[in-house]
Amino acid sequence: MVVAADITGRLQAEDAVQQVIERNGRLDTLVNNAGLMLLGPVVGADPEEWDRMIAINVQGLLYTTRAALPHLLKAAEQGRRRVAYIVNIGSYAGRVASRGFGVYNATEFGVHPSPSPRARKSPGATCASVSSSRVPWRANWARTTGPRSEVN
C-alpha cells in the first residue's frame, strides 16, 4: 500500500503509518522512499534548500521509522517468520561524496544504515538499504537543469 504524505512533519508521518494499520490491520514492511535532490556548490547556496532536503531525506525517514517500528515489531512477534523489514531507498550519493553534491551527499549518507550487521538488526526487525548506482545521464541532466544543479 502506498500512502502519500508530507513526512517532514512528525504527526503527518505518524498519521500515514496509522492509515496503513487501519486499512490492513498490521504492518510488516516499511519502505522509506521519499527524497529531494538539490545540487550545487555549498558556497552561496540557500540554507532553506538545505532545510528542505534534511527535512525530507533525513527527518522524514526517522519520523516514519519511529512511527512504524512498534507496529513492525508487533507483526514480527505474531508472524510465522518472526521478522519485519525496513527498506531505505537512497542514492549512490550516500556512499560516495561528489563535487557539487554538497548537502545532498550528507543527507544521503544519513539514509544508509550502519555497515555493521549487528547494528542493522533489532530483535524482530531487519533494516536494509538500496541505492542507485551512478548513471550515465548525469552530465546531460546537469546541463539541462541550470546552474543550481550543475555538477562540476
Which region holds residue 134: left if phi is over 0, alpha if psi is between -120 and 50, else beta?
Answer: beta
How far CA 7 is from CA of 18, 50, 59, 76, 150, in Å, comes to 13, 16, 8, 24, 28
Q: Are strands 125-131 and 121-122 parallel, antiparallel or unpaired?
A: antiparallel
Query: Pick the catalytic residue: 63, 85, 92, 104?
Result: 104
Per the CB < 8 A criterion, the answer to whether 103 and 50 are in contact is yes
The β-bridge partners of 126 are 85, 121
Q: Would residue 104 show up in a list of annotated catalytic residues for this protein?
A: yes
Catalytic residues: 104
